[in-house]
Structure 1
Amino acid sequence: MNDVGDEGSNAAQLASPSYRLAALDSEYILSDSMRGVRFMMEYDKAEQALRAWGVRSTIVVFGSARIGENGDGEHRRWYAEARAFGRLASERGGAMLSPNGQPRDNVIATGGGPGIMGAANRGAADVGAPSIGFNITLPHEQAPNPWSTPELTFRFHYFAMRKMHLAMRANALVVFPGGFGTFDELFEILTLRQTDKSPRIPIVLFDETYWRSVINFDVLVGHGMIRAEDLELFHFAEDAEGVWAALLAGGLKPHESIE
């Protein structure tokens, strides 16, 4: 009842946007002035879920969303090896929660979409390990693949916050063939490494022939755009076992080795 007797009806006051609880006022929360708060919320929501699952560190896997399991030739091979890597890294890296409750290490984390990312999440699911999907809202909506752990499947509005979550726990980066989005993540991490703004994590590019055909790293050196020693920031591998070996050689520690 909105009838307040002789004082008249307060229906207009109750219906006013100013009367809504701030936390329940979507118009207010989505306003320009609240952008910083939304940015913080995107950080904290994922942070709380990852902590609840005991995720201490990740192995980030990126690659094209356009590569399918039933693709032709090299596409099929790339998908199969990404799935195989997701499986073996989950088994050997420490993604399974140990009986004594140690945190999970080297959990597979992807951009959450289909293709190579779905293959890596699928490999983890093959052995019953959790994996993470950091999805992003796009004009043509990206749907999460069905293999990332549901409770660890996130969606971000801000690319910057998504990138932060991808990078902040990463013990390693594995990059399969891909396009602009894959390049973006690769060069983001390479820049952080080159400038010592991130730990010295190993970076492995899958299929050297592909990467050398699309990026002439030596020309960058020749023009003085990067130093010759910057080429040591990453290595190449040709199969899932080779990726794992390169990560270990680059300093990756399996779960049992982390104190």
Structure 2
Amino acid sequence: MSPAEGAAVTNAEEARARGEQRMGPVTRRRGMVQPTTTDQRLLDSPQGPTEWVHQDPWRVMRIQSEFVEGFGTLAELPPAISVFGSARIPVGSEDYEHGVRVGRALAEAGFAVITGGGPGAMEAANKGACEAGGVSVGLGIELPFEQGLNEYVDIGVNFRYFFVRKTMFVKYARGFVVLPGGLGTLDELFEALTLVQTRKVTRFPIVLFGTSYWKGLVDWVESTLIGSGRAAEKDLELFHLTDDVDEAVALVSKETGQN
């Protein structure tokens, strides 16, 4: 187990020990902690053939309230860029420092910085934006072992539902900078690529930061996806790959008309 993975396990164990659970705007502690998340209960198969009739329609009201809360909180943000990356990046590591520099440079270019609000790369980008005097936003999510929003978030919104949160990442951002990350980062990356490819969003630059980390994935897209005809050659133009912070900011600035 790597040190980062060990830290993640420790964080989960500490969360269990604290007996604290954040569910959207609700915090539960001790005996009030629930064993499942809101998303899990929504997506699990119903127990009876008609049980959903009595439950799912009411869930729509809660989902609607999350959209309203997110829209109301974020509607007046300045032009923003969503920054994604692993929660397992240790403080002080090279990847963490890259995240700080990216957040700082985006803020200095006039962008608000939106992250998932957690530790690791998210904290790094929020820290850079905060220290540069920019607007630092964190969009948290209810998880079995909630870590809470990092200390560098100026505006924080906690969501129960992943799909509501993901809408906010795209709706209120003019582009993505994607730092090295895991499955959650890949999820956001490929959703953004799909939205651009299908023209559901326009003028939406996607920058992959960290050539050595992303090169294997890019090679697979080119050799396997495109090579087998399951994607088009022009799809390689949907994203940019760089190791340079200034270039990353220049790319999102140029394509969003921020220059």
TM bucket normalised to smaller: 0.7 to 0.9
Instruction: Provide the rounded CA distance (Å) in 1 between the counterparts of 2:71 and 2:173.
Output: 14
Please list the CA deviations of residues 89-121 of structure 1 after superposition, one character each: whole Å capped at 9, or x if unmatched.
Answer: 11212xxxxxxxxxxxx3100111111111010
What is the CA-CA distance between 1:86 and the residue it aligns to? 0.8
Alpha-carbon RMSD across the aligned residues, in angstroms, is: 1.6
Bigger drift between 76-85 and 57-66 goes to: 76-85
Q: Which contiguous aligned blocks of 4+ residues in structure 1 show a shift greater than 3 angstroms?
A: 30-33
Please list the CA deviations of residues 29-60 of structure 1 after superposition, one character each: whole Å capped at 9, or x if unmatched.
Answer: x9543211111110111222223xx3143200
Give the equivalent residue in structure 2 for 1:145.
150
Q: Normalising to structure 1: TM-score of the pair?
A: 0.75
Please list the CA deviations of residues 217-247 of structure 1 after superposition, one character each: whole Å capped at 9, or x if unmatched.
Answer: 1121001111000010000110311211222
Check conservation: 1:136, 1:142, Cα contact below 8 A.
no
Instruction: Provide the rounded CA distance (Å) in 2 between the counterparts of 1:127 and 1:177.
Output: 22
Q: Which runs of 5+ in 1 are unaligned?
A: 1-29, 71-75, 94-105
Give the equivalent residue in structure 1 for 2:136.
131
Q: 1:172 aligns with which of 157, 171, 175?
A: 175
Check conservation: 1:82, 1:240, Cα contact below 8 A.
no
- 3-state SS of the aligned residue for 2:113? strand
Instruction: Provide the rounded CA distance (Å) in 2 between the counterparts of 1:220 and 1:192.
Output: 17
Instruction: Provide the rounded CA distance (Å) in 2 between the counterparts of 1:234 and 1:205.
Output: 7
Give the equivalent residue in structure 2 for 1:5.
none
Query: Does 2:256 align with 1:252?
Result: yes
Percent pairwise identity: 40
Check conservation: 1:135, 1:142, Cα contact below 8 A.
no
Instruction: Provide the rounded CA distance (Å) in 2 between the counterparts of 1:119 and 1:42.
Output: 26
Instruction: Provide the rounded CA distance (Å) in 1 between the counterparts of 2:256 and 2:57.
Output: 42
Query: Does 2:37 align with 1:37?
Result: no
Instruction: Provide the rounded CA distance (Å) in 2 between the counterparts of 1:49 and 1:183.
Output: 26
What is the CA-CA distance between 1:248 and the residue it aligns to? 3.2
Aligned pairs, number: 204
Q: Which runs of 5+ in 2 are unaligned?
A: 1-37, 39-54
Give the equivalent residue in structure 2 for 1:100.
none
Give the equivalent residue in structure 2 for 1:92.
109
Q: Normalising to structure 2: TM-score of the pair?
A: 0.75
Check conservation: 1:112, 1:118, Cα contact below 8 A.
yes
Give the equivalent residue in structure 1 for 2:112.
107
Give the equivalent residue in structure 1 for 2:99.
82
Give the equivalent residue in structure 1 for 2:213.
210
- 3-state SS of the aligned residue for 2:174? strand
